[in-house]
A and B are shown apart, each in its own frame.
Chain A
């Protein structure tokens, strides 16, 4: 067949963005940010004053503490559950919808190789995830800095940590980059689940369960020493490491490399599984 991978990926991309579900998902993410900002607008200042009353008497903070950086950090925390859940719903739907409507059969009757087809799905899932994370980063930044301005960032990461405005901006940006790796991992996992379970609702339930279990295991932090980082669920909070005073670059790079390895392994299993099974 003369079809090249670019054409396949472009076709997948076209289909993805012609489905209303994709736009609902992106709209939901935007709305989520607006709600977080409104919440901060109405309640944030009083809560912050209550929390930091003693500290404010001892330290000088530049600018308002309820500022754009803090709001971006709050949006960043949607990477625990909300953002991966929405990504998993959209990404798994890329395949389950095709199975349920029968278009997968029509596609497979065109003579295209199964490997090439599912590979393009995984590729588009990864790109869509990266674009979505970038979009969330941009929209949260624009909305937060526009309405709340700049200032020092304080976060609780083991202890209360304070970062000057410029440093905070860098750390937030890098946290989005690191978080994108986790989101890609969850997206390819959801596509693997779609390959295995084939039904939309069943896949969503299993994907949500998988996400919840990952978060629970992340809290438990099983394992010790070097092999602790072998567990993928221990890697999904790597973006949080940017909010330690000393950024542990080596650990972050190892964790991200491990996450890439896991994402590649999950994708390869998905491609193999899809290729070996009949299309009913």
Chain B
């Protein structure tokens, strides 16, 4: 049981939007599609959701379900003149979902929205709109979700809340989720498996930790008195306040962290500074 796109081609005039693209997502798995703007992510997701037709290739969803997948494309599109409950009721009625007050309250609670809020959705923040859009996508309990650029336009707290919601839906409810983004850090933190798409072609499929390694030149370490560490003396190391930036670490970052430990220094965080371009121009 999975959702699979196989050998998808799509072109607009002389421009090829998707070129022999194949992806799949299993239940409970968070699968990422990472790429720059215009790489073909939205086109692929629109095809998955049946909004546009591919020139060739096939979509297969094994689950025999009234609504095999729900989704959001590009931005949460809601009836801004209605409140959250009315939006759920309208979209729910259209697809024959249970739109009783109890069921709607359940959907709002599921995505962490205030069940007592009655003002128009037009007043909501982007994060709240994203949550409501996910609640709408979850109407009729589809086994798969397709979320196109869900982190765009969100503040840092909104990103964290949304990431937690996506992980909760996948890991606790068993929903298979396909997420697209150009934000490599968010994809690495959120996904179990990531496709990299560039100019309409899937150029890589990896586990997040592999992509971190391939996409990272520099790491920023935070810790107490790190400037005194013998391990960090030498080239490619810049001290910035309480932080240290290490570029092209040699030995690798794992070894450096262990050496710092042996020296008795405590490292509070080690943040890779990823660059998506390193993934796009470095073939497998």
Residues of A in contact with B (beta carbons under 8 Å apart): 1-3, 7-8, 10-11, 14-15, 18-20, 101-112, 117, 278-280
17 A-B interface contacts by CB (under 8 A) = A1-B95, A1-B96, A3-B95, A7-B93, A10-B93, A11-B90, A14-B90, A15-B79, A18-B86, A101-B80, A103-B79, A106-B91, A106-B133, A107-B91, A110-B95, A111-B95, A279-B51
The reply to whether B52 and A279 contact each other, CB–CB distance below 8 Å, is: yes
The reply to whether A102 and B96 contact each other, CB–CB distance below 8 Å, is: no
Given that A18-B82, A102-B75 are known contacts, is A3 also in contact with B50, CB under 8 Å in the complex?
no
The reply to whether B94 and A107 contact each other, CB–CB distance below 8 Å, is: yes
- The size of the chain B interface, using a CB distance under 8 A, is 33
Q: Which residues of A contact B86 (CB under 8 A)?
A: 18
Kindly state whether residue B84 has any CB partner on chain A within 8 Å.
no
Cβ distance A227 to chain B, nearest Cβ, rounded Å? 41
Cβ distance A140 to chain B, nearest Cβ, rounded Å? 30
Kindly state whether residue B136 has any CB partner on chain A within 8 Å.
yes
Q: Which residues of B contact A14 (CB under 8 A)?
A: 90
By DSSP majority rule, is chain B's interface helix, strand, loop, or mixed? loop
The reply to whether B81 and A20 contact each other, CB–CB distance below 8 Å, is: yes
The reply to whether B93 and A105 contact each other, CB–CB distance below 8 Å, is: no
CA distance A11 to B93 in the complex (A): 8
Interface residues of B in 124-150 (CB under 8 A from A): 133, 136-137, 139-140
The reply to whether B95 and A112 contact each other, CB–CB distance below 8 Å, is: yes
Selected contact of B73 from candidates A15, A105, A111, CB within 8 Å: A105
Interface residues of B in 1-55 (CB under 8 A from A): 46, 49-53
The reply to whether B52 and A111 contact each other, CB–CB distance below 8 Å, is: no
The reply to whether B52 and A280 contact each other, CB–CB distance below 8 Å, is: yes
- Given A106-B77, A108-B50, A109-B71, 5 other A-B residues pairs in contact with their CB atoms under 8 A: A3-B94, A3-B95, A107-B94, A109-B50, A278-B52
CA distance A280 to B137 in the complex (A): 18
Q: Which residues of B contact A19 (CB under 8 A)?
A: 81
Q: Which residues of A contact B70 (CB under 8 A)?
A: 109-110
Kindly state whether residue B258 has any CB partner on chain A within 8 Å.
no
CA distance A110 to B142 in the complex (A): 10
CA distance A18 to B89 in the complex (A): 14
Most buried by A among B67, B77, B140: B77
Cβ distance A12 to chain B, nearest Cβ, rounded Å? 10
Nearest opposing residue in chain B for A279, CB measure = B51
CA distance A1 to B94 in the complex (A): 9
The reply to whether B82 and A11 contact each other, CB–CB distance below 8 Å, is: no
The reply to whether A110 and B80 contact each other, CB–CB distance below 8 Å, is: no
Interface residues of B in 167-199 (CB under 8 A from A): none
Kindly state whether residue B74 has any CB partner on chain A within 8 Å.
yes
Kindly state whether residue B66 has any CB partner on chain A within 8 Å.
yes
Selected contact of B51 from candidates A11, A18, A101, A105, CB within 8 Å: A105
Q: Beta-carbon contacts of B93-120 to A below 8 Å, as 1s and 0s?
A: 1111000000000000000000000000
Q: Which residues of A contact B73 (CB under 8 A)?
A: 102, 105, 109
Given that A7-B93, A7-B94, A105-B51 are known contacts, is A1 also in contact with B66, CB under 8 Å in the complex?
yes
Kindly state whether residue B78 has any CB partner on chain A within 8 Å.
yes
CA distance A14 to B89 in the complex (A): 11
Q: Which residues of A contact B67 (CB under 8 A)?
A: 110-111
Nearest opposing residue in chain B for A112, CB measure = B94
Q: Which residues of B contact A106 (CB under 8 A)?
A: 72, 77-78, 91, 133, 136
